[in-house]
């Protein structure tokens, strides 16, 4: 198994751990106001995105991770307050990491946040379904492909080469 797959699997484990942790504190947060729940969700998802970037593989200054899952979840489930916290914290940490891909990483974070908040508003008037979550995931993945258009071709080729078994 290549380094890129190990890194992504470690990130996937992180996503799973934070989902379980959020589920465990759901009883506590259920008693809080909607705004406070949203703020707490934003902080938790921001922490997840930062840990995802911190443990990710860097390929020529481009970070390969699953931060989009945390940012999209914050926006989708928590609305504007959670999205702002998760997005701002993620951008700040991506700037801190620097590298050739910092600006593209920031664009990716912003695209993910916009897609997540759009889905939040699409389903705001009704109960969310598994199809809504699936739609969010597909939309975030497709929107994330936009960033591949601005990454230098030799870096994309390097990522593809690293991802092959």
CA distance 125 to 127: 7
State the pTM of this model: 0.85
Q: Which residues contact 125 (CB under 8 A, 6 or more apart)?
A: none
Q: What confidence tier does 163 reach under pLDDT thresholds 50, 70, 90?
A: low
Per residue in 126-144, pLDDT (tens digit) is: 888 999 999 999 999 999 8
Per residue in 98-126, pLDDT (tens digit) is: 888 889 999 999 999 999 999 999 998 88
Report in angstroms the alpha-carbon separations of 141 from 8, 24, 69: 15, 28, 9
What is the share, in percent, of the chain residues with pLDDT greater than 70? Answer: 96
Q: 3-state secondary structure string, 106-134?
A: HHHHHHHHHHHHHHHHHCCCCCCCHHHHH
Q: Mean pLDDT of all residues in the chain?
A: 87
Contact 14, 66 (CB under 8 A): yes
DSSP per-residue letters across 28-91: HHHTS-HHHHHHHHHHHHHHHHHHHHHTSEEETTEEES-HHHHHHHHHHHHHHHHHHHHHHHHH
Residue 164 scores a pLDDT above 80: no
Enumerate the domain spans of the chain.
3-163
pLDDT at 96: 95
């Amino acid at each position: 198994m290549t380094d890129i797959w190990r890194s992504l699997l470690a990130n996937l484990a992180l996503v799973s751990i934070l989902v379980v942790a959020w589920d465990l504190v759901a009883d506590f947060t259920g008693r809080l106001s909607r705004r406070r729940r949203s703020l707490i969700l934003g902080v938790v998802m921001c922490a997840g995105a930062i840990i995802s970037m911190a443990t990710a593989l860097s390929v020529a200054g481009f970070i390969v991770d699953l931060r989009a899952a945390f940012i999209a979840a914050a926006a989708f489930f928590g609305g504007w307050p959670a999205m702002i916290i998760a997005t701002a914290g993620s951008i700040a940490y991506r700037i801190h990491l620097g590298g050739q891909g910092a600006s593209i990483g920031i664009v990716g974070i912003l695209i993910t946040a916009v897609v997540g908040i759009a889905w939040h508003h699409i389903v705001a008037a009704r109960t969310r379904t598994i199809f809504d979550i699936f739609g969010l995931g597909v939309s975030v993945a497709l929107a994330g492909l936009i960033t591949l258009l601005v990454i230098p071709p030799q870096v994309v080729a390097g990522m593809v080469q690293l991802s092959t078994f």
